[in-house]
Amino acid sequence: MSLDQVKQSKWGRGRKVMAVVGLAGMLTTAAGCGSMASGNPNSTKKTEGSTYPQHTITFIVPYAPGGDFDTTARLLAPYLTKYLPHHPAVIVKNVPGGNSVIGDMQVINAKPDGYTIGYFTLPGIALGPLIGQGNYDLTKVSWIGQVFAMPYVAAVSKDSGLNSLKDVQKDPHLKVGTTGITTTAGLISFITLKSLGVQNSTTIPSGGSSQSVLAASQGTVDFVQFPYPALRQEISAGLLKPLWVNASQRLPGLPNVPTIGQLGHPELATVARLAGVVGTAPGVSQENLAVLRSAFKKAVQDQGFVSKMKAANESTQYLNGQDTLMAVQRDIKLMRKYAPEIKDEISH
C-alpha cells in the first residue's frame, strides 16, 4: 500500500469515528429536548424540590416575646434549619395583637411559597370567624404540624373552701378568674363551666394568665384554669389546690390529681387544651409543603429539641399536617356549638 493510500485509509476511519460521536451527541441532545418538550412532571418536581428553600424563612409568633409560643418557636427554629434542605436561617418574628389574629393573618395572606410560616393557637383561633371577629378559613391553611398540646389544670384558691368538682358545681357565688372570653383560656373556662352545669358564677377577666393566677393565689377569685406550667409555682407553694386535669391521663407532676374523665366528663379531656400548631399560606405547592413537613417532623422529634423543651418546662406532642387539619376541623365544630352563647355574652 502506498503512503497516499495509508493516509486516505486513516482519514476515512477518522471521519467514521467523528460521525459516530456526532450522531451520539445529536441523539443525547434530542433525548434531552424531547424530555423538556414532553413536560415530564417528575423531572419538574425534582427540580422544584431541589431548589426549595433557597433563602431565609420567617416564623411568625402572634404574641409578644416571652410565653410558651415565643419560647418554643425560638427553640424550634435552629432545628428546622438543621433539617431543611440548604439549611436556611429560620427567623422568629413576633407580631402580637388581636388575640393572635394579626400575626396569623400575616401567615394566611403571605405569598404561597413556603417562606412564611407561623404559630396558630387552638382551639381559640377557631372562634373568630364564627362571631364576626376575623375573615379567614382555617381549613384552607397549609398545615405543617403540631409542636405541643398542654392540658389545662383546674385549681382553686386555698381560701375558697372548695375541695372537689361537686363543690365547684354547687358553689352559689363562684368567682372565676380568666382572660377575655375570646382567648383560648377564656373559651376553655366558659365551655368547662357550661359542660359542668355551673350556673352561679361570675367571671372576673384580667390582662393575662399571670394576673388571674395571682388573683387566685391571693384569694380574690376562687377558681382558675390554665396550662400546668402557668400554675406549677403556686401549686407547689400551696397557694392553689388542683382539683382535676383536663387530659386523658394524669400528669407526672400531679400524680394524685384525677383527670376530668375520671370525674365523669371525658369530653373535656381533648377540649380544654392549649395547642401550638404551625401552618403556612394556603396554596403552597405540595412539593414545598412536603419539604416543610418532613423537616418539621424531624425537628420536633429531635432529642436535642426535646431535651431543651423539658429544660424550659415545655413538652412536645407532635401531630403531622393531616392530623393537625383534623384537629382544626374538630375545634371549628366545637366552637360553632358555643359561638351563639359566646357572641351573646360579648354583647352584654
Mean pLDDT, the chain cut into blocks of 10 residues (348 residues total): 41 39 36 37 43 96 93 98 98 93 96 98 90 90 96 93 94 89 84 87 82 92 92 95 92 93 88 92 97 98 96 92 96 89 78
User: What are the sequence ranges of the domains in the chain?
Assistant: 53-149+273-347, 151-271
pTM of the model: 0.79
Cβ neighbour number for residue 282 with a 10 Å cutoff: 17
Asked whether the domain spanning 151-271 has the same topology as the one spanning 53-149+273-347, the reply is: yes
Cβ neighbour number for residue 42 with a 10 Å cutoff: 8
pLDDT, residue 209, reads 84
pLDDT, residue 50, reads 63
pLDDT, residue 19, reads 36
Q: How far apart are CA 74 and CA 68, in angstroms?
A: 10
Say which CATH topology domain 53-149+273-347 has: D-Maltodextrin-Binding Protein; domain 2 (3.40.190)
Say which CATH topology domain 151-271 has: D-Maltodextrin-Binding Protein; domain 2 (3.40.190)
Q: Which residues contact 146 (CB under 8 A, 6 or more apart)?
A: 275, 276, 277, 278, 317, 318, 319, 323, 324, 327
